């Protein structure tokens, strides 16, 4: 007896203010799922029930999980800087509250969105699988707290909840205000560096493929619960080529600035400390530091993954190739004048 979560099911999506959360919620609604979204601001999404609230608020969380069949938990504090405590509050305690509420309201299936960085320190990842999360080995507050959260979610699998963990890697495409727009902005102003030879092979995930994979993952969740799956396009490319390609899609010249990886890491560590200091002095900053140790590692070592288990479990293959994605991004920017 195979059980699928089909359209008509009630699904809560947290973190629908981000590109991925918004896109997934929208797609699920379009396919006929009864979607509720939970986030602090307004989502401005059509065809979904909206609950405004934070994961810090148990009442809001309880209200949101009421009557749901499944939860897709995407809300997280995603940043490369900031006080560690903030990350713990959102990523660890928030996840715990959501899980508690979900189980209390009889939710059966829980799709936890994580990150490949939860399982890996700075070393190269070459055709890597999805190892267990390792909070001690993870680098930086984001990865550490996401690792803790993943372990917590995974442990709930033993107490009757179906838990599936998806770890998308470097989502990009039209609408992406994180990676995509920053690369283009910096490339336009000549501040986008390529580290070392720019040859490090890196996996990415085009947004439409990510949405497909999440819908597939939700649908098959009861069948494949208990698995951890890294999610990528399965098309690793040299990082320099990807950056150049994304910059070109935004009409920016190919980055000419080249930094030695060691230098960038050292500089990143210094900048991180400066940022922390300035935040302590004058409160949270709205911008992100230009370079961090984590980012330097991401940009100078290989990060690509074995996708065979993922594609088989989700019964999914990426529809949009990297090259096709770049073409769509260029078309989007030319048409709208912006990445967003």
Partner 1 sequence: MVSLRRRFSPIEAAPARLPADHAPDAGLAFPGLDPEWSRLVRAKTDDGARTFHVLDTGPALAARGIAPTGTILAVHGNPTWSYLWRSVLSASLERATDGAAWRVIAPDQLDMGFSERLAHPVAPAPDAPSYRQLQTRLGDLDALMDALDVDTSTLVTLGHDWGGVISLGWAVRQRGQVDAAITLNTAVDHPTAEPVPAALRAAMAPAALPAATVTTDAFLRVTLGLAEETLPAAAREAYRAPYTSRSGRGGIGGFVADIPALSSHGSRACLQEISAGLSEWDKPTLLLWGPKDPVFQDRYLADLQARVPHADLHRFEGAGHMLVEDRDIAAPLFTWLEDQFGESAMRESRRSPEPAGTILGLHEQLTALSTSARRSEAAVVDMTAEPEAWSTAEDAATGNRALSWEELARQVDALAVGLRATGVRRGDRVSLLVQPGNSLTVILYACLRLGAVAVVADAGLGVRGMTRAVRSARPDWVIGAQPGLTLARSLGWPGQRISAQRLSARRQRLLDTVASVESLLSRHEGETPENEPQPGADDPAAVLFTSGSTGPAKGVVYTHARLGALVALLVEQFHIRPGASLIAGFAPFALLGPAIGATSVTPEMSVTKPATLTATAVADAALAGEASMFFGSPAALRNVVATAAELSGLQRRALGEISLVLSAGAPVHPDLLNAVQRVFPVAEIHTPYGMTEGLLQADIERREVLDAMTTAQPGVCVGSAVRGVRFALAPLDSTGVPAEELVDPADAVGVLGEIVVSAAHLKAGYDRLWFTDRISRRDTHDGLLWHRTNDIGHFDAESRLWIEGRLQHVLTTAAGPIGPGTVETPVDALPEVARSAAVPVGPQGTQAVVVIVEPESESTSERFPLREGRSPVAEVSFAARVRAAVPEIQIAAVLVLEELPTDVRHNSKIDRTGLAGWAERVLAGEKVGTP
CA 317 to chain centre: 19
Q: Which is nearer to partner 1, 258 or 273 (CB)?
A: 258
Q: How far is the CB of 172 from partner 1 (least distance, A)?
A: 17
**Which residues contribute to the site for partner 1 (CB under 8 A)?**
124, 126-127, 195-201, 234-241, 244-245, 248, 254, 258, 261, 300-302, 304, 306-308, 311, 323
Q: How far is the CB of 299 from partner 1 (least distance, A)?
A: 9
Q: Which is nearer to partner 1, 22 or 167 (CB)?
A: 167
**Marked catalytic residue, from 142, 172, 206, 316:** 142
**Rounded distance between C-alpha atoms, residue 19 and residue 177, angstroms:** 8
Is there a catalytic annotation at residue 142?
yes
Place of tokens 């006929």: 32
Q: How far is the CB of 199 from partner 1 (least distance, A)?
A: 5
**DSSP letter (8 states) at residue 158:** G
Of the candidates 199, 192, 177, the one whose C-alpha atom is nearest the C-alpha of residue 252 is 192
Q: Which two tokens stand for residue 184?
A: 């283009």
SS3 for 166? strand
What are the beta bridge partners of residue 201?
A: 238
Q: Which is nearer to partner 1, 143 or 195 (CB)?
A: 195
Q: How far is the CB of 40 from partner 1 (least distance, A)?
A: 38
Q: How far is the CB of 212 from partner 1 (least distance, A)?
A: 18
**Rounded distance between C-alpha atoms, residue 213 and residue 314, angstroms:** 7
Burial code of 219-232, b = ≥16 C-beta within 10 A, e = fewer?
Answer: bbbbebbebbbbbb
Q: Which is nearer to partner 1, 18 or 196 (CB)?
A: 196
Q: Which is nearer to partner 1, 260 or 340 (CB)?
A: 260
**Rounded distance between C-alpha atoms, residue 177 and residue 183, angstroms:** 10
In sequence order, what are the residues at sequence separation of 6 or more whose Cβ sits closer than 8 angstroms to the Cβ of residue 54?
A: 40, 60, 94
Q: Which is nearer to partner 1, 278 or 317 (CB)?
A: 317
Q: How far is the CB of 227 from partner 1 (least distance, A)?
A: 17
Of the candidates 169, 247, 179, 263, the one whose C-alpha atom is nearest the C-alpha of residue 210 is 169
Place of tokens 């993952």: 217
∠ CA 134-138-141, nearest 5°, is 120
Query: Is the separation of the CB atoms in 247 and 187 below 8 Å?
Result: yes
Place of tokens 């507050």: 141
- Which string of DSSP letters, residue by residue, matches 292-331? -HHHHHHHHS-EEE--HHHHHHHT---SS-HHHHHHHHHH
Active site residues: 142
């Amino acid at each position: 007896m195979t059980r699928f979560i089909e359209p008509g099911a009630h699904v809560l999506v947290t973190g629908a203010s981000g590109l991925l959360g918004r896109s997934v919620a929208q797609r699920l609604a379009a396919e006929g799922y009864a979607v509720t979204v939970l986030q602090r601001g307004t989502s401005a999404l059509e065809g979904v029930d909206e609950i405004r609230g934070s994961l810090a608020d148990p009442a809001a969380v309880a209200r949101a999980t009421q009557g749901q069949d499944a939860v897709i938990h995407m809300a997280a504090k995603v940043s490369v800087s900031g006080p560690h405590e903030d990350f713990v509050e959102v990523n660890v305690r928030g996840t715990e509250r959501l899980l508690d509420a979900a189980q209390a309201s009889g939710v059966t299936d829980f799709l936890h969105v994580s990150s490949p960085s939860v399982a890996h320190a700075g070393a190269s990842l070459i055709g890597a699988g999805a190892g267990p999360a390792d909070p001690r080995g993870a680098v930086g507050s984001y990865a550490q707290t996401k690792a803790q959260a993943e372990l917590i979610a995974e442990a709930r699998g033993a107490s009757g909840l179906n838990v599936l963990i998806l770890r998308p890697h470097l989502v990009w495409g039209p609408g992406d205000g994180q990676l995509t727009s920053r690369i283009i902005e910096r490339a336009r102003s000549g501040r986008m560096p390529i580290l070392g030879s720019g040859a490090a092979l890196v996996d990415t995930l085009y947004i439409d493929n990510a949405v497909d994979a999440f819908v597939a993952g939700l649908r098959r969740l009861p069948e494949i619960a208990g698995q951890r799956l890294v999610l990528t396009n399965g098309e690793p490319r040299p990082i320099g080529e990807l950056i150049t390609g994304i910059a070109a899609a935004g009409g920016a010249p190919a980055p000419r600035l080249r930094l030695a990886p060691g230098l960038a890491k050292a500089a990143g560590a210094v900048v991180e400390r400066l940022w922390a200091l300035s935040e302590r002095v004058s409160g949270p900053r709205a911008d992100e530091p230009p370079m961090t140790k984590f980012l330097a590692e991401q940009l100078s070592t290989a990060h690509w993954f074995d996708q065979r288990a993922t594609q088989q479990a989700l019964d999914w293959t990426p529809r949009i190739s990297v090259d096709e994605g770049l073409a769509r991004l260029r078309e989007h920017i030319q048409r709208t004048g912006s990445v967003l």
